[in-house]
Amino acid sequence: MIGLQISQKGKLEKINKMEMCEDANSSKVKITKVLLTPEDTRTLLGDDSATYPVIPGRIAIGQISDTSDFSYLEKGTRVYVNPITNCGECVQCLSSNSNLCTSLQTAGKNVNGFLRDFAVVKNSQLYFLPSLVKDSEAILIDYITLALATIDKLDITKGEHVAVIGGGLVGLITSMLIIYYQGVPILIDGKEENLDRARLAGIYYNLFSDNKVEKEVSELTGAHMAQKVIYVADSNINTDLALKLASYNAKVGFVGFSSPNLKVNFNVAMKKQLEFCCITNGYGYTEQAINLIANKVIDLSLFKFNVVKYDNVEDELFKDYEAFKDGEQSAFPLLVDMM
Ligand SMILES: [Zn+2]
């Protein structure tokens, strides 16, 4: 296997290791596409939740190149590799509640990701991709599972107003799915380009995050404010807004693949008796996500990523790293063509 690994904070190196498919519960996968996300740049920057050395690249699709006779997926099958695995050792895993695993492992963070030509992975991580699901859609499965987990945990129901704070990929895909489940998203962001994309995606209520937004949400909701609020962790918007837009007894979800050091004003939360929950992954929703894509319930053609060949990826990662270090936003996601 050849690949790139982050050996320590700020340091990338090429690796070349033998990787064999040794047990009946694993398969060897030729990685064909990897989506690098701001999470990978954060790992390069030095992330307390990461375990070094680690191969970056949380999101990958590939093709099975070697497997045991016992695997239900055959050699040559196009697959999505689930980046989240349960530990198999905690109390929840041992009592068959692996969905509630207390130490889920994340590819590219605390176990190796997929910026490499081949990976040996557990068969339980591999999901068959029907031909109706294009590669360009399959790389969004991780985002869709996060959105599904959020909608489920917040128990979003028909006709409910949901304030979505943060209009990047997470906020936008979540808003699109809220519409599919007949909720009413109100998407809020500080960047016009994100609001433009939201309009194209059919998000009818999209608001700029200035000092008028509270009044606007009040008008849209008949002064009730939002029964559900989704705060996207990397939205760069003050968390006070999430609490202001929430109605009394509302549920507020803090959502994102990373857990930045957010400050929340409990004074308002207690006055309004808000219910908080946190969602950092979509473990357990992969099949549902693939099914939704295959049924074309949301239009993913809107999401186009810059593509780079594997040979040039080191430069791109460093470019993003330098910009991030200087306080700029990450330019990722970036789609890496591994072929
Ligand atoms: Zn566990």
> From ligand 1's centre to the CA of 147, what distance in Å?
22
CA of 146 to the centre of ligand 1 (A): 19
Q: Quick one: pLDDT at residue 191?
A: 94
What's the pTM?
0.96
The confidence band for 325, taking pLDDT boundaries of 50, 70 and 90, is confident
**Ligand 1 mean position to 99 CA, how many Å?**
8
56-74 average pLDDT score: 91
Ligand 1 centroid to 27 CA: how many Å?
22
pLDDT tens digits, one per residue of 11-61: 999 999 988 777 888 999 999 999 999 999 999 999 988 999 999 999 999
Q: Domains in the chain, ordered, with CATH?
A: 2-139+305-337 (3.90.180.10), 147-279 (3.40.50.720)
291-310: pLDDT as tens digits? 999 999 999 999 999 999 99
What is the rounded distance in angstroms from the CA atom of residue 95 to the CA atom of residue 135?
36
Give residue for tokens 């910009």: 323
Instruction: Round to whole Å and give the CA distance between 61 and 32.
Output: 6
Residue 88 binned pLDDT confidence (cut-offs 50, 70, 90): confident
CA 256 – ligand 1 centroid, Å: 21
Ligand 1 centroid–CA 308 distance in Å is 36
Q: Residue 64 in contact with residue 25, Cβ under 8 Å?
A: no
CA dist 180 and 190 (Å) reads: 25
Instruction: Please give the distance, rounded to the nearest whole angstrom, from the Cα atom of residue 84 to the centre of ligand 1.
Output: 11
Give the residue carrying structure tokens 């590799």: 81
Contact 243, 263 (CB under 8 A): no
Distance of CA 338 to the CA centre of its chain: 21
